[in-house]
Chains A and B, each alone.
Chain A
Amino acid sequence: MILKQMLQYSPNLDLAFQALADPARRGMLERLTRGPASVSELARPFDMTLSAIGQHLKVLEAGGLVRTHKVGRVRTCQIEPLALSAAEQWISQRRTTWEQHFDRLEQYLAETEDTPDDKDTQP
């Protein structure tokens, strides 16, 4: 739901969300928020081959979430903090705030009941 709505104002978010819709890739990203890592360092906690990690990295790069560069034989990966522009972040936060309000609204409606008065006032 949030995804669909976010996409209305940023096509780039489509690829970013695709990249994030996988627990292994989120785990890799989580690791990179703590600092850059080589591909093999990144692979270590996961039960995956280096080529599988490489595939995931490609998706993360396509989503604009991770940047990699090769020095000699070592490819270093780092998080791309500008995946969302400041504007997108801010508006996304605003949307999320309203989504949270409406989660609570749904809960409130579930905890209360229709009264005859409500039915009478229907247009």
Chain B
Amino acid sequence: MTERPVTHATFSIERTLSASPARVFRAFADQQAKDKWFTGAPHWVRTERSMDFRVGGRETSSVGEAGGVQHRFDATYHDIVPNQRIVFTYVMHLDAALMSVSITTIELAPVGDKTLMTFTEQGAFLLDPADAAQREQGTHFLMDAVEAWLAREAAEV
């Protein structure tokens, strides 16, 4: 493998969800519920799945296009406070290549009859050797991200 630089980053995502903290928590804690939303792109297939939701327990999921690159998520739970907080670490592989090692915190707070969910990820991200195709993809990705953002802003107005 060629040398791959590492970069460190933190990002967070906030969502106000139309459900009680207990329902949101269950969507993370119950595999049947989580399988409804923790999936890949619609045409992707899941080739591996396990979930052991308790402190020290692991969760794995491999998804990708049939016969294509496998995106493998491998998590370990470290802190679980029902209806309030989940802390887990996870590693991501694309096929055999390690892409990132992250610490993730999900915090739930009631806001009226809704729930403010704050997702924070701190990670060491290993970079692919840059190639032209990737940069072009990045440009398209940026435009897609803006389209998605504009659509969401429009929907919120």
Residues of A at under 8 Å CB distance from B? 1-3, 5-6, 8-9, 16-17, 20-21, 26, 29-30, 33, 65, 79, 81-84, 86-87, 89-96, 98-99, 101-102, 104-110, 112, 114, 118-119, 121-123
CB–CB A81/B136 < 8 A: yes
Given the known interface contacts A2-B145, A3-B149, the answer about A89 and B13 at a Cβ–Cβ threshold of 8 Å is no
Question: With A3-B149, A8-B11, A83-B142 in contact, is A89–B121 under 8 Å at CB?
Answer: no
Cα(A112)–Cα(B148), bound, Å? 25
Give, as a whole number of angstroms, the nearest-CB distance from B5 to chain A: 8
Which listed residue (A6, A82, A90, A108) contacts B128, Cβ 8 A? A90
A-binding residues in B (CB < 8 A): 5, 7, 9-13, 15, 17-24, 26-27, 33, 36-39, 82-84, 92, 99-100, 110, 117, 119, 121, 123, 125, 127-128, 130, 132, 134-143, 145-146, 148-150, 152-153
Nearest CB on B from A99, distance (A): 6
Query: Do B13 and A98 touch across chains, with their CB atoms under 8 A apart?
Result: yes
